[in-house]
Amino acid sequence: MNAAQHVTTLGQSLWLDNLSRSLIRDGTLAGLIAESGVSGVTSNPSIFQNALATSPYYADDLARLKAGELDAEQRYEALVIPDIQAACDLLLPTFEASGGNDGYVSLEVAPRWAYDAAQTVAEAQRLSAAVDRRNLLVKVPGTPEGLNAFEALTTLGINVNVTLLFSVAQCQAAFDAYIRGLAARAAAGADVRRSKAVASLFLSRVDTLVDKQLTAIGTQEALSLRGRAAVAMAKLAYQAYLQTFHGDAFAALAQQGATPQYLLWASTGVKNPDYADLLYVEPLIGAETINTLPDKTLAALVDHGKAALTLEAGTDEAAAQLAALAHLGVSMDAVGERLQVDGVGSFEASFVKLLEQTA
């Protein structure tokens, strides 16, 4: 048993933060599912932009599509929806074996709708119908408008990956939206047992921004806190998860068979080469969580990772670290708000480039 497989025995799911036709047709994804414990896949506009630019398997289909009357976005969907469906099919045995708790593939609503709740709901419904797979998660951003859409989609029975979360407060807002949506669904007499949602908390981007602020402050105390904010934040987000979904707020829904909204660690590839390559993996292993890993990070975990239950260790220290940041004037809520806006902009820029490839 390699370290990745060991992690999954500790109650954490490992999803691959990548998808392309090459991974599917070359058998790479099937191999990762069989040999490295991968039990899900996440995608985003940046991932598909890279896939279309580097995989040889799109050229013929793209040429055929360009000869037709579809617009650039319709061509993009015609290319990637079959990939999503194929990944869903590969993971269907995982989905069924887990009773619908794992084995999901995520597809993102176009980023330009991040601040339009009604359009996000409409697009999520359309994409869900187009993919037509039980183990699809539609990705919706954790903006205020996105969370309104998420609540409505949960009420409708559409399963969602809430993406672009960068703070404990944003995670809590997502948890609350999920509970409201489930409660409305239950009140309408609908079945909540098949509802599924995850909350994707981005990590490396947090450290990149916080480290920049700490370097600018320049004191010994500030410099000593670099590279520690994201893991501390994640540990406290997990405490918020436990209090929310293993407490009174969720008890009635749990009795009806509803499942919690698991936290998903996203942006787990280390951006600072001075940091350990598994900085956002080894300290954050715990039950009822997901870590979505880029290929390189997954390979590092398999090669030299250490699997142990670590997520609930050092919670007091994590709280002290965030308190120290606040004392220095670094507001994690402000960091989260800024990174969410930047994240929407980054995905939107990638989506524009993606559509240029299919134009």
Query: Which pLDDT score is estimated for 330?
Result: 98
Give CA–CA dist 98/230, Å, rounded. Answer: 30
3-state secondary structure 246-280: CCHHHHHHHHCCCCCCEEEEECCCCCCCCCCCCCC
Q: Please give the single-letter amino acid code of residue 307.
A: A
Confidence of residue 45 (pLDDT cuts 50, 70, 90): confident
Query: Which pLDDT score is estimated for 184?
Result: 98
Please give the tally of structural domains in the chain. Answer: 1
Query: Which pLDDT score is estimated for 63?
Result: 93
pLDDT score of 113 more than 90: yes
Query: Domain of 48?
Result: 3-358
Give CA–CA dist 272/163, Å, rounded. Answer: 22
352: left (phi over 0), alpha (psi -120 to 50) or beta: alpha
pLDDT score of 172 more than 90: yes
| Segment 213-239 mean pLDDT | 98
Give CA–CA dist 55/67, Å, rounded. Answer: 20
What average pLDDT does the chain have? 97
| Segment 236-258 mean pLDDT | 97
| CATH code, domain with 40 | 3.20.20.70
Catalytic residues: 139
- Residues 109, 77: contact at Cβ < 8 Å? no
pLDDT score of 139 more than 90: yes
Backbone angles phi, psi at 186, to 5 degrees: -65, -40
SS3 191: coil
Give CA–CA dist 7/12, Å, rounded. Answer: 6
Which tens digits make up the pLDDT trace of 160-171?
Answer: 999 999 999 999
Which tens digits make up the pLDDT trace of 319-345?
Answer: 999 999 999 999 999 999 999 999 999
Q: How many residues does the chain have?
A: 359
Query: Which pLDDT score is estimated for 37?
Result: 94
Query: Which pLDDT score is estimated for 127?
Result: 98
Which tens digits make up the pLDDT trace of 58-92?
Answer: 999 999 999 999 999 999 999 999 999 999 999 99
